[in-house]
Structure 1
Amino acid sequence: MKKWLLNILQCIQDIYQILKEIKALYNQFTIVTAHLQTIIRLIENYNHLAEEREKTVDTDQHQREIKLLDIGQVMKILNISESTYYRWVENGELQPRKKGKRHYYYLFDLQDQIAKCKLKGRL
């Protein structure tokens, strides 16, 4: 073969090798990109959970500052009768804070029962 033709062949082979290396780097880049996207998603989820927790803590602290509710207010909030109230206390569905023989609640104490009442259509 002529020398110039051999030089062209060598150049084409070199270009081919370079392209193979570029492809290998691209594949590695794709893997790294996928991992970075996963890390970003995890950080965003962590931040979201942290924000939700802060809101919950703020809400709980705020609700603790609210006055205590008596039996009448609880029955009104839950839309239940007095007999239902005492049955729930006896069954442990409501757990009052007691002062002497009187029952009191913070609003956050009633959250589970409020949710159940909403499901049953009472609220």
Structure 2
Amino acid sequence: MTMEILYSFLVVGHFIGLAAIVGPFLVQMRRNSDFAIGAVLGGAITQLVTGIALTGIAASQIEDYTKIFVKLGLALLVFVAALLGWLRARKSGNTRGVKPFFHAAGGLALVNTVVAVFA
């Protein structure tokens, strides 16, 4: 019972992390500056932590880890893109040069969602 509650809270956190990445991406994808890269970075960190925790809890029920490794690889790429974008924004003082990192993080998060649903 306790593990089920923990698992449910982690799933909610995982969805919130996804929303923090995909929401700003879909709303701001046509912009050239003022990206919410901090939210994307926070979402990427949340996705990584909750995804690893969810895998740990469900490890005894997982037969094939291929999907998990693909999703982890994509999540790491999302995190790296968001981190590089955040560092660039912090260094330059604006988010104008963040666009490629913002788009990479958002696009890869969408790909990761497709893998989660269809694989």
TM-score with structure 1 length normalisation? 0.25
Larger radius of gyration: 1
Q: Which has the higher helix share?
A: 2
Of structures 1 and 2, the one scoring higher in RCO (CA 8 A, sep 6+) is 2
